[in-house]
Amino acid sequence: MPPASDVVAIVKAHQITHIRLYDADPHMLKALAGSGIEVTVGVTNEEVLGIGESASAAAAWINKNVAAYMPSTNITAIAVGSEVLTSVPHAAPVLVTAMNNLHKALVAADLNFQVKVSTPQSMDIIPKPFPPSTATFNSSWNSTIYQLLQFLKNTNSYYMLNAYPYYGYTNGNGIFPIDYALFKPLPSVKQIVDPNTLFHYNSMFDAMVDATYYSMDALNFSVIPIVVTETGWPWQGGSNEPDATVENAETFVNKLIQRVSNNSGPPSQPTIPINTYIYELFNEDKRPGPISEKNWGLLFTNGTAVFPLSLGGPSQITGNSTAVFCVAKDDASEDKLRDGINWACGQGQANCSAIQSGQPCYLPNNIKNHASYAYNDYYQKMHTVGGTCDFDGTATTTTIDPSKFAQSFLFIMLLLILSAIFIC
């Protein structure tokens, strides 16, 4: 894995504004300081029992892993365990107690208004998610889930859901077409409709979220928003995993981004956006299990994307027939521009030799022009694999070739290096 500082640089280069950590890794939390990125930290499954049995352990955890890094690191949520009810059911009796203990510790530290507490749960606790209108939680967990929902309502928090259409499709015995799992439009004769509500579902993702809303409603909780804390699609699998392909992963992720970016909810809750975390940033090559388990990463560890994607949302430039250039903004501060140049010429692997003293693009010798050169060199190489033009808010795209400005300047200054102008 890259050092934490490099991971944060990669995250910023891809315009990622929210990340979820599975633990409270101190290197990552330090590296995220000052980035403004919203961070969800995780209590590991191994820690849940101890925190559930001891309020002092919860307070110590908050002091060590949250309070110590705020406000420099923008921690906004704590995910207590991961799919506790299905993965470590022996910890289920103290799960909500652990959440309460952590919340009380946040109150004592005066951080409860900035940091929400919740716990990610699998779709597996809903035995029959379709049709969504009749979905209910597994009744054997009703007592724990009721306490959980009451806690979320009392603390104005949200339900964390791990929703995987990949598994919904591959484990579905052919009940649903793959296009439904991949956000692809279905022909009229194959529309997926809830027979009770007559709601049309254009994606399995929406149906999973709605099944969870209806399950909460069955327990008389109807105002708790859902945040999808994991979803994605593996891009490589074994011979018995034919649907784990780069093409399918690219389709799922990019259409997911389009879906989530329209800020609408599922059919039963159209006004509640489905805020979503994509699983995951890098591959886990040592993860046990089938080949697909190791290959969910969006990026390689050098920061390049496995397939073209636009994590910045619909406004991000994705490339078209008009040439697009990346240049420094006029109002950007010089300190931030220097940071941007250092990243582009270092971690970003831009070729910045031409803007060194005595080289063809050294003039005009000012920070903005040097930043524009470095930014554009990085962008031209990387935008087709997910590289972005942001640089901590100091860059923007333009269809005007920035070399024309350099040409005008050099002409006025009567500098006779015209042969180099057109590449600057």
E strand spans, 265-328 = 276-278, 325-328
Which tokens go with 347? 């971690």
C-alpha dihedral (296, 301, 307, 310), degrees to nearest 10: 100
Please measure the distance between the N-terminal and C-terminal CA atoms of the chain and give it in whole angstroms.
34
pLDDT value of residue 417: 37
Cα–Cα distance between 358 and 92 in angstroms, integer? 67
pLDDT at 359 over 90: no
What domains can be seen in the chain, in order of their start residue?
A: 4-314+411-418 (3.20.20.80), 325-398 (no CATH)
Element housing 383 (H / E): none
Whether the CB-CB separation of 177 and 204 falls below 8 Å is answered with no
pTM: 0.74
Query: What does the mean pLDDT of the chain come to?
Result: 89
Element housing 228 (H / E): strand 226-231
pLDDT value of residue 389: 82
Q: How far is CA 369 from CA 50, 184, 357, 359, 419, in A?
A: 56, 44, 13, 14, 18
Q: What is the mean pLDDT of residues 202-217?
A: 98
Element housing 234 (H / E): none
User: What residues are annotated to the active site?
Assistant: 83, 230
Q: Which residues contact 61 (CB under 8 A, 6 or more apart)?
A: 24, 43, 47, 51, 102, 105
Residue 248 backbone phi and psi in degrees, to 5: -70, -40
Angle between helices 45-53 and 55-62 (to 10 degrees): 130
Q: What is the mean pLDDT of residues 26-41?
A: 96
CA angle in degrees (0–180, nearest 5) for 356-357-360: 75
Between strands 120-122 and 159-162, the pairing is parallel
Query: How large a percentage of the chain has pLDDT more than 90?
Result: 70
pLDDT value of residue 424: 44
pLDDT tens digit string along 249-306? 999 999 999 999 988 999 999 999 999 999 999 999 999 999 999 999 999 988 889 9
pLDDT tens digit string along 377-419? 888 877 655 567 888 888 888 777 666 545 444 444 434 333 3
Angle between helices 95-108 and 142-154 (to 10 degrees): 20
pLDDT at 139 over 70: yes
Q: What is the mean pLDDT of residues 193-203?
A: 96
Confidence band, pLDDT 50/70/90 cuts, at residue 310? confident
pLDDT at 117 over 50: yes
Cα–Cα distance between 335 and 373 in angstroms, integer? 17
pLDDT value of residue 386: 55
Could you please report the per-residue DSSP string of 141-207? GHHHHHHHHHHHHHTT--EEEE--HHHHHHTTTTSS-HHHHTT----GGG-EE-TTT--EES-HHHH
pLDDT at 314 over 70: no
Burial 359-390 (b: 16+ CB within 10 A, else e): ebbbbbeebbbbbbbbbbbbbeebbeebbbbb
pLDDT tens digit string along 11-33? 998 889 999 999 999 999 999 99
pLDDT value of residue 309: 83
pLDDT value of residue 408: 45
Residue with tokens 């799960």: 95
Query: How large a percentage of the chain has pLDDT more than 70?
Result: 90
For residue 214, the one-letter residue type is Y
Q: Which of 281, 301, 252 is nearest to 21 (CA)?
A: 281
Cα–Cα distance between 367 and 284 in angstroms, integer? 40
DSSP character at residue 282:
B
pLDDT value of residue 176: 93
Whether the CB-CB separation of 291 and 241 falls below 8 Å is answered with yes
